[in-house]
């Protein structure tokens, strides 16, 4: 994961949010610990929300499926 860490740091330094979304998803997929997976997915989700990226709902659903986020309630 050292190469991935290096790419994450470079993307942060460059403020490349598109890359950060992708790299945090890759980090989540590579993590073998559920807490680390949730940490990385949450970062990917936050950057996707900030960018208005179409992946945001998918990332949120992954967090819901992991039990780290609550499903959205229908409007009342």
At 9-67, the pLDDT tens digits run 999 999 999 999 999 999 999 999 999 999 999 999 999 999 999 999 999 999 999 99
Nearest to 2, CA basis, from 27, 36, 19 = 27
pTM for the model:
0.89
- CA 37/CA 56 separation, integer angstroms: 16
| Measured distance CA(24)–CA(32) in Å, rounded | 14
Sequence-distant (≥ 6) Cβ neighbours of residue 70 within 8 angstroms: 64
Please give the DSSP secondary-structure letter assigned to residue 31: -
């Amino acid at each position: 994961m050292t190469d991935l860490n290096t790419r994450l740091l470079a993307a942060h330094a460059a403020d490349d949010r598109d890359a950060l979304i992708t790299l945090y998803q890759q980090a989540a997929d590579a993590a073998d610990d559920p807490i680390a997976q949730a940490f990385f997915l949450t970062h990917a989700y936050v950057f996707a929300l900030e960018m208005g990226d179409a992946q945001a709902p998918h990332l949120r659903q992954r967090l819901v499926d992991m039990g780290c986020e609550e499903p959205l309630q229908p409007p009342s």
